[in-house]
Structure 1
Amino acid sequence: MYTTKNKRWIILISVIFLLTACNRAPNAATKPQQTPSQTPSQTQEIATSEPTAVVAQTPGSTEQPIEEGMPPTALEAATTVMRAIKDGNMKTLAAWAHPQKGVRFSPYAYVDTLTDLVFTREELEGLMADSTKRVWRTFAGSGDLIEMTFAQYYKQFVYDADFFQDAKIALNKGLGQGTTINNLNEVYPEDSYDFVEYHIDGIDPLNEGMDWRSLRLVFEKIGEDHALVGIIHDQWTP
């Protein structure tokens, strides 16, 4: 038979057990919530993924520099050689010279294999600074000797017009035709040689085309490669 005191103890112990059970139950109000837009796997992927590299592009820089093929075509070789001629870069010009045959310089369309001067790679590199006067054949019309240093000849019978910027360009096709015989394909047969012609119809409109200029770069085909063997100047002649 319980006494009143025992009943109080029993009630107190029951209350303690009840409070303990409530404290151990999970609290729904504090449970972490996931956003509707991210699953647990997505959250982990964003945290562990590395940043993506971004390549900056400069506006207007879409044009890529022109590069020579390996081996270069005749047109590609001619572009490089003509740039060297324009700049007076004798080192680059010499590098393109045929290793055995060198480069022959012809002041007019007719190539004279007996009298036109030929220079090796080694000679070409130092020619611009060479003060030696040489006979480069005779002037058309007067017949006077073309007696000049290389620098003088270069100015009058190589780059005497802006061929690099202003000329029409043709591969294995003549554009300028004067009174001088053009024997290019006889000296340099087309089965073994390519030539690229740079032609300007006229420099001064008042001359009505009588001041046209051409420069022909002749390359020997060596397999698929090309080596410079001739620089032929041409112009209107009386």
Structure 2
Amino acid sequence: MKKLLIAVFVLSLVTACKKEAGKPVPNEIDSIAQNKTDTAGTVQTHADKEAALKLVNDEVLKALKAKDYATFASFIHPQKGIRFSMYAFVNLKEDKHFSKADFEKYQPTKTLFTWGTQDGSGDPYKATINDYLGKWVFSKDFTASQYSVNKFIGGGNSLNNLKEIYPKADFTENYIKGTEKSGNMDWKTVRFVFEEFEGKYYLIAVVNDQWTI
């Protein structure tokens, strides 16, 4: 009789195990659900981030096109200010840097600043803030350009060290391809480097790039 009862118990246990086969235990279910949530959250955050960067990129371009430099100034990082690089190579010693306050102070004036050295001639490039923004930074209508985020489109023979100088920042690129008449060498691009501050993206750098000799 004992043997019979043991046999029935073992058979019941095996049957129960088979029914539960393939089903995760409660802890496993919680873990899987959490992983799915984390994955979805990451994707959503990434999408929101790209949308936010595209929006602020376009607003900066609109301000430059309209020569609305007061609005442009509102995008400058409140603590880190903004640096302007004439070419792809960011030179921390020579590129012009402004705090937000200094930019707003000198932007309406006729004060000349040295922004860098012109490729080819080697002459210093001197201009007011307004002239530099209007004639160099926005030398073409970049509102109609090819856009990318955290990816380079244009590139020539100038060293591009943007990622080395701003390793933790995000950047957008606005690229206008060259023309056949000029052998496609008259391409130009402007890159905006952003950092987040108190929930918003602000400019910390404007980097122009073009074919250099």
- TM-score, with length taken from structure 1: 0.65
SS in 1 for 2:74: helix
1:200 is matched by which residue type in structure 2? I
Provide the aligned length of Structure 1 versus Structure 2. Answer: 166
In structure 2, what is the Cα distance between the partners aligned to 1:164 and 1:171?
Answer: 15
What is the CA distance between 1:128 and its match in structure 2? 4.3
- Per the alignment, residue 171 of structure 1 pairs with 149
2:176 is matched by which residue type in structure 1? I
SS in 1 for 2:125: strand
- Per the alignment, residue 190 of structure 2 pairs with 215
What is the CA distance between 1:80 and its match in structure 2? 1.0
1:25-64 residue pairs with structure 2 within 5 A?
none
Q: How large is the Cα RMSD of the aligned pairs?
A: 2.1
Q: Which sections of structure 2, spanning at least 5 residues, go unmatched?
A: 1-47
SS in 2 for 1:129: coil
In structure 2, what is the Cα distance between the partners aligned to 1:127 and 1:164?
Answer: 26
In structure 2, what is the Cα distance between the partners aligned to 1:227 and 1:154?
Answer: 17
Alignment check: 8 A CA contact 2:190 2:206 kept: yes
Alignment check: 8 A CA contact 1:109 1:234 kept: yes
1:215 is matched by which residue type in structure 2? V
2:81 is matched by which residue type in structure 1? G
In structure 2, what is the Cα distance between the partners aligned to 1:137 and 1:74?
Answer: 28
- Per the alignment, residue 80 of structure 1 pairs with 59
What is the CA distance between 1:122 and its match in structure 2? 2.7
1:107 maps to 2:75:
no
What is the CA distance between 1:152 and its match in structure 2? 2.5
After superposition, what is the alpha-carbon deviation per residue over 1:120-171, rounded to whole angstroms, capped at 9, x for unaligned? 2233335443211111111112211112222332233200001012x10000
In structure 1, what is the Cα distance between the partners aligned to 2:116 and 2:100?
Answer: 22
More helix by share: 2
Change (3 A) 1:223 1:193: farther
Q: Which stretch has the larger CA shift, 226-235 or 142-151? A: 142-151
Alignment check: 8 A CA contact 1:90 1:126 kept: no
1:181 maps to 2:159:
yes
Q: Which sections of structure 1, spanning at least 5 residues, go unmatched?
A: 1-68
Alignment check: 8 A CA contact 2:69 2:130 kept: no
- Per the alignment, residue 135 of structure 2 pairs with 156
In structure 1, what is the Cα distance between the partners aligned to 2:74 and 2:133?
Answer: 18
Runs (4 or more) in structure 1 with deviation over 6 Å come to none
In structure 2, what is the Cα distance between the partners aligned to 1:92 and 1:151?
Answer: 13
SS in 2 for 1:76: helix
- Per the alignment, residue 5 of structure 2 pairs with none
2:177 is matched by which residue type in structure 1? D
Alignment check: 8 A CA contact 1:110 1:182 kept: yes
Q: Which has the larger radius of gyration?
A: 1
- TM-score, with length taken from structure 2: 0.72
Of 158, 172, 190, the residue aligned with 1:196 is: 172
1:93 is matched by which residue type in structure 2? F
Q: Which stretch has the larger CA shift, 113-122 or 123-132? A: 123-132
Change (3 A) 1:88 1:123: farther
Alignment check: 8 A CA contact 2:115 2:125 kept: yes
- Between the aligned residues of both structures, percent identity stands at 35
1:229 maps to 2:204:
yes
Change (3 A) 1:89 1:125: farther
- Per the alignment, residue 139 of structure 1 pairs with 118
